[in-house]
A and B are shown apart, each in its own frame.
Chain A
Amino acid sequence: MTAVTDQDHTEHPEHPEDPERPDRDAGGPPRTDTASPWDDGLIARRVNEGAGEEQRGAAAARTAVPQTVAPLAYDPWLRSRLEALRELVGLSRARLDNRTLAGAGRVLEESTARRRLSGQHTVVAIAGATGSGKSQLFNALAGVPVSETGVRRPTTAAPIACSWSDGAAGLIERLGIPPRLRRRPLQATADADERLRGLVLVDLPDHDSAAVQHREQVDRVLGLVDAVIWVVDPEKYADAMLHERYLRPMAAHAEVMFVVLNQIDRLPGEAAEQVLDDLRRLLDEDGIVLGEYGEPGTTVQALSALTGDGVGDLRESLARFVAERGAPARRISADVDVAAARLWPVYATGRRTGLSEEAREEFADRLADAVGATATGEAAERAWLRNANRACGTPWLRLWRWCQERSEPPTGRVALRGQPDEEATARQRVEQAVRTVADRACAGLPAPWALAVREAAVRGSQGLPEALDELAVRAGLPPGRPPRPGWWPLAVLAQVSMTALQFAGGLWLLAQIIGIMAPNLGVPVLLMVIGIVGGPLVEWSCRMAARGPARRYGQEAERRLREAAAGCGRARVLDPVAAELLRYREVREQYGRVVGVGAGRA
C-alpha cells in the first residue's frame, strides 16, 4: 500500500525556452529530500501537505532519484500535421464560428500540454460500466488493493491514479487527480514489473450509472489520457451506451485502446470463447480496427481479475505497449484525425473549385450588355454608314431624302441629345451578372467559404453601376463627326463629276436644240448616260467600300466600351472573388496536410 507520491518532483522537463515559469525556486518550504531545481512553489506546497501521509506509507520511502524526464517528442510527420492544423485554425478564424473550430483548438491545446510533460510515461485509463470490475482489474495489475471494490453500485466515484515510476506527477496533475488519490504499486510488484516502468494507470468511475457527475468525470479524463483499457463483462458487453456513446466515436483511437472481457470465471466452458468472438464482431461493427496478427489496432483479451486468469497476458501486452512509448503521439495523431474528420464538411469539396474562364467571359459579356456595348457598336456602324451614303449619294437622292425627313414627325432624336443620361447602365443586369458570377464561384464550396465569396462579390459590386455610368461616358467614341477614310474626297469628287457630266451633257443637248451648237447627238447623250448611270454606280460602289470601315468603326466603339466595362468588373468583383478563392485553396491545402494526404508517413 502506498501513499501519495509527489516526491517525484522531477517531472518538469527542462524548459529553458519556456518563459512562463519564473517562480521555479520561489517560496517552497525547505524540502527533506534532495530537491531538484525544477519544482515550483505549487507542487512543493502540495508535497508538504501530503507529508504526513508520506511518512505513514512505507512504500513511499523510495527515494526519488533526481532524474530529468525528457519531454515528449512527436515525430516530424505528426509535428507537421499539428503545425498545419494550427495554421488552418488561424486562417479560418474569420470565416468559421468558434464552435466549429473548438474541437481543433482543443486538440492543439492538449497536444501542446502533453508535449510539455514526460515522454517516458504512458497514461492508461481503465474505463467500463458499473460492476464490470474496473477497480478489480486495477488492483490486480497494481498487485495491491489500491482502489476500493464492492457490490455497492456505483463504487468508484473519483478517478484514482497509480504510477509505476517517478516523474509522472505532472501528467497526473493534468488529469486533475488530487494527491490523496495517487498511489504507487506494491514494492514487490513494482520491482517485478520493471517492464511496466513508465505506466501510469488511472481507475475511472463508471460511465453508465445514474450518477451524472461520474459520466462527466469519465468524459473529461478520457480526453486527456494516452490510452484506454475498456473493461466489459459478459453481462454488459453489448450495452448500447458503451458502443454508441464511447466506442464508435473513439474508433479512430483503435491503436491506443484495449478491450478486455472481464469475469470470464462466470462463464462456463467454451462460452467465454463465444462471447469473446461476439465482442469482436460488435467492435468490428463499431468500426474499430482489431489488432490481430500483429497489425496495429485494438487488442481484445479475455481475463478474470478475480482469479487472475489472463491478467498476465494483459500485463504482457501493457509492458510491450508502454515500452514502445508511442502511445501519446498515436493518441494525439488519432485526435487530429477525429478533428479533421469533423471539419471535413467545412473544408472539403466534391469538385474542382475556382472561377472558370467561361464564367469570367460570361461576366464580361453581361457587363457589356449592361452598358450597352453591342447596341452602341451597331448604332455607330450604322451612323457611319448612313453618313457615308449621304455624302456619296447622288444629289437627287439627297434632295428627296431631305424632303421626306421634313415631312416625317421627329422622334427619339429630338431628345436632349447633348447631355449624357444619368443611370445609363442597366442596374438589374449588373446585379444579375454579379450574382451569376458569385454563384459560379461558389459552386462546390463548403457553406462558410461560399458565403465569404458571395460577400466579397457583393461588396465589390457596390458602386459598380455608378462606375460603369461614368465609364460609359468616358470610353464612348469622341463626339462629333466620325473620321472619314482617305478615299472619301475622291468619291465625292467622282459623284460631283458625274453630276457635272449630267449637267454638261444636258447643257450640250440644250445648246444643240436652241441651235447654238452644231447638232451632234452622240457625245452629249453619251455624257448624260454616263452621268446618270455613273452616279448611282459611284454611290453603290461607295456603299460597298464603306461597309468595311463602318464595321471596323462600330467594332472599335463596342470594343472600347466592352473592355472598359470588363476591366472595371475585374478590378471590383473578379479580383476580390479570386482572392477569396485563393484563400480557400490555401486553407484547403493546409487541411490536406492535416489529413495527411500527399505526405508520406515519416
Chain B
Amino acid sequence: MLQNSPKIGHSSHVVTLDVRPQLLDALSALRDRVAAARFPLPLAGAARARANRDELLAQLDDYLVPRLRDPEAPLLAVVGGSTGAGKSTLVNSLVGRRVSEAGVLRPTTRTPVLVCHPEDHHWFSGMRVLPDLTRVWVPHHRDPADDLLLPGEDPARVLRVETADTLPPGLALLDAPDIDSLVSDNRVLAAELIGAADIWVMVTTAARYADAVPWHMLRTAKEYDVTLVTVLDRVPHQVVSEVSRQYGALLTKAGLGHVPRFTVPELPESAWGGGLLPATAVASLRTWLVHQTLDPAARQYAMARTAYGVLASLDTRMPGLAGAAAAQYAAALRLTAAVDGAYDSEHARVRGRLQAGAVLAGDALRRWRAFPLDCTPGELLDTLVESLSTLLLCAVAAADERVDDAWRREPAADAPELAGRDTAPESAEHRIGLAVRRWRRELEEYAEDEVRGLDRSAAPDPETVAALVATTLLGGRRGRAAGEGLAERIGAHGALRLRDRGGRLLVEHVDRVMHAERERRLAPLDALEVHAEPQAELIAALSVLQKER
C-alpha cells in the first residue's frame, strides 16, 4: 500500500538534469582536490574528517560523476537497512527469483548483489559506477558466488552482478550489507553503496523502527535531500495499523513525513528459510519503482533530485573538510612553533654560555690552570673540545625535552609517525662530536698557517698556538691570559686575525649543529606534508563548482 505518496512534480516544475561540460570539469577538479586531502594528525575531528573525505570521494566516484556523465544510465535503487530487516528477501521478492541469499544467521549478505535487466548489464559490468569493487559475473544457472571468488580476494570488496528479465530495463536493484553490521568493513561498504544510489530504499522492521542506527541513516538522507523511500518490513498482521501509524508519526516528527512509505507484512515464508514473498506483498513498492523508471518525468525527477541534493550537500561538506584541513595545518604550525621556540631559546642560551666562558670549566679549567707546566697543549685542546661538545649536547637534549613537554599538551603530537623518532641520544652525541672535532682540526690548520707565516727562527709550536686560541675563544674572561700569551707568541696582529677566523668558524659550527638537530627533529613532521594549500584549494574548487551549477 502506498501511503503519503508525494505529489510528484510532473510537467509543471520538472527538475531537469542539465549537465554542461564545465560542470563536469569543475566536479572532477573538485574530486581531485578531495582525493588529495590528507588528515594525518590525530586531532579531535581528524577521524571524522577522514571518514567524511572517504565517503565524499566514494560518492563522487560512485555516483555523482558517473550520473552526470551518463544521465541515461539505469536508475540504481539501493536497499539498505539494519541486520535482519529482510533486505535480501525484499530484493528476491521484487525480482521474483532468489538472487541474494537470505537466512536466519546474521549478517546474511556479505557480498553485495546488483540485479538489473540483461539489456542494462553493460552499464554495470564496467567500472562506470563503484569502480573499486571487483565484479563477479554469475550466469543464471550457477549457485551462489562464494565458490567463484578467486583465492585471496577480499569478499567484502566484491560486487556480484545478476541479471533478471523480470525487472524493467532502466532499473537496477542493489542488495547492500547491513548498515549496523558487526563486521565494520561491511558497515563502511554499506554506507558507500547507499551513497551510490539514485533511490535510497531504507528497510526497517516492526521491531526496529525506533532503533538509533537506521534513524541516523534517514537523517543523512534528509540532509542530502535524496530520493528516499522507506519500507516497514515484517509487520505482524495484528499490529499493522498501529505500528504503521507510529512509524509515520516518527517520520513526520523527523521532517520526513512526505517520504513514500510501504508496509510489508510478516508472512511465514518471509524470512526464515529464505523464501520469496508473494508478489502481492511487494506489489505496491514494485509499482512505485517501475513508475519511477518508466515514466520519463518521474525518472527525471527522481534522478535530478538525488543528483542536485548531493551537489547541494557539497556546500556544507566541502567547508567541513576545508575546516579540518585548516585545523591540521594549524596543529602542524603549533608543533613546528614549539620546536622552533625550543631550539631558538636553547641556541641563544648556548651563545650566552659560550660568551660567558662556560666551556672553560671543570676539567678544562683545571687543565688550563696547569698549562703549560703540568699539561700539554694537546690535552688542553682535548678537554676543551669535549667540554664544548657536552655544552652542545646538553643544549640539544634540553631543547628536545622542551619540545616533548610542549608536544605532550598537543593531541596532534600523538601521530605514530611523530612518536617514532630516534630516542638514542648517543647518535646526537656522535654527530655533535664529529662537528666539534672538525672545528678543532680546522682551527689547528689555521694555527699552522699563522705559524708558518711567521718569519722567526724560534717559531712557537702550532699546537700550543691552537690551544691558546681555543682557550681565548671558549674561555670568556677567564681565558684573557691566553690571549695575552698568544699575542706574545705570534704578535698582536696575528693573534687578532687568528682569533677572528677561529671565532667565525666556531659560530658557524655551533649554528650548523643546532640547525641540523632542529631539522632532524622536524623531519618527521615535514614528512607528513601538512600544508596550508588544501584548505584554500578545497574552497576554491567548491566555488568554481558553485559558479558552474
Contacts and interface: CB of A to CB of B under 8 A. Distances in A.
A474 B394 CA distance: 27
A271 B212 contact: no
Contacts of B372: 411-412
A152 B374 contact: no
B182 A411 contact: no
Given A209-B212, A210-B212, A431-B398, A236 B363 contact: no
Interface stretch (A7-15, A125-133, A185-193, A293-301): A125-133
Nearest to B82: A239
Contacts of A602: none
A62 interface: no
A424 B211 contact: no
B386 to A, nearest CB: 9
Interface stretch (A46-54, A365-373, A480-488, A502-510): A365-373
A435 B401 contact: yes
Given A241-B213, A383-B370, A236 B208 contact: yes
B372 to A, nearest CB: 6
A403 interface: no
A426 interface: yes
Contacts of A220: none
B393 to A, nearest CB: 6
Contacts of B272: 234, 266-268, 271
Interface in A391-419: 409-415
Contacts of B211: 129-130, 208-210
B207 A282 contact: no
Nearest to B272: A268
A370 B468 CA distance: 21
A211 interface: yes
A429 interface: yes
A504 to B, nearest CB: 35
A153 B242 CA distance: 11
A137 to B, nearest CB: 15
Nearest to A154: B210
A278 interface: yes
A382 B390 contact: no
B-side binding surface: helix, strand, loop or mixed?
A: helix
B406 interface: no
Contacts of A275: 104-105
A23 interface: no
B137 to A, nearest CB: 30
A206 B484 CA distance: 90
A235 interface: yes
Contact of A427 (B85, B361, B425): B361
Interface string B383-401: 1000100110111011001
A413 B207 contact: no
Given A235-B83, A382-B370, A383-B370, A240 B187 contact: yes
Contacts of B106: 237-238, 278
Given A236-B208, A267-B272, A412-B482, A153 B362 contact: no
B83 A372 contact: no
Interface residues of B, number: 70
Interface in A208-258: 208-211, 233-241, 243-244
A23 B164 CA distance: 80
A412 B210 contact: no
A250 B264 CA distance: 37
B534 to A, nearest CB: 32
A139 interface: no
B320 to A, nearest CB: 23
Contact of A426 (B84, B273, B390): B390
A3 B35 CA distance: 64
A58 interface: no
Interface in A257-284: 266-268, 271, 274-275, 278, 282
Contact of B368 (A211, A243, A412, A423): A412
B213 A411 contact: no
Given A369-B362, A379-B367, A426-B361, A431 B394 contact: yes
Contact of B246 (A153, A267, A371): A153
Interface string A464-502: 000000000000000000000000000000000000000
A374 B484 CA distance: 27
A375 interface: yes
A412 B371 contact: yes
B369 interface: yes
B334 interface: no
Contact of B390 (A234, A372, A432): A432
B31 to A, nearest CB: 30
B208 A411 contact: no
A371 B363 CA distance: 7
Interface string B90-127: 00000000000000111100000000000000000000
Given A238-B83, A267-B104, A153 B207 contact: yes
B363 A412 contact: no
Interface string B474-513: 0000100110110011000000000000000000000000
B363 A374 contact: yes
Contacts of B300: none
Given A151-B243, A211-B210, A374-B363, A435 B387 contact: no
B361 A234 contact: no
A189 B182 CA distance: 39
A282 B374 contact: no
Interface in A149-172: 151-154
A370 B489 CA distance: 31
B181 A240 contact: yes
B289 to A, nearest CB: 25
Interface in B340-357: 353
Contacts of A424: 361-362, 365
B468 A411 contact: yes
B209 interface: yes
Interface string B242-285: 11001000100000000000000000100011000000000000
Contacts of B213: 208, 240-241
A427 B358 contact: yes
A275 to B, nearest CB: 5
B104 A274 contact: yes
Contacts of B82: 236, 239
Given A382-B370, A386-B373, A432 B105 contact: no
A333 interface: no
Nearest to B370: A379
Nearest to B374: A382
A346 to B, nearest CB: 15
A432 B394 contact: yes
A409 B485 contact: yes
Contact of A241 (B212, B369, B425): B212
A432 B429 CA distance: 11
A147 interface: no
A15 B187 CA distance: 54
Contact of A238 (B107, B353, B361): B107
Contact of A130 (B180, B207, B488): B207
Q: Which of B234, B366, B398 has the most CB of A within 10 A?
A: B366
Contacts of B207: 130-132, 153, 233, 235-236
A243 B184 CA distance: 12
A236 B180 CA distance: 10
Given A238-B107, A238-B182, A379-B369, A429 B84 contact: no
Nearest to B219: A210
Contacts of B394: 428-429, 431-432, 435
B362 A371 contact: yes
13 contacts: A131-B210, A153-B207, A208-B211, A243-B182, A372-B366, A372-B367, A374-B363, A379-B369, A383-B373, A424-B365, A426-B361, A429-B390, A432-B390
Given A266-B272, A267-B272, A268-B272, 6 more contacts: A238-B106, A238-B182, A241-B212, A382-B374, A426-B363, A432-B390
Closest 10 CB pairs of A and B: A426-B362, A131-B207, A238-B106, A153-B210, A375-B366, A382-B374, A411-B485, A235-B84, A372-B366, A379-B370
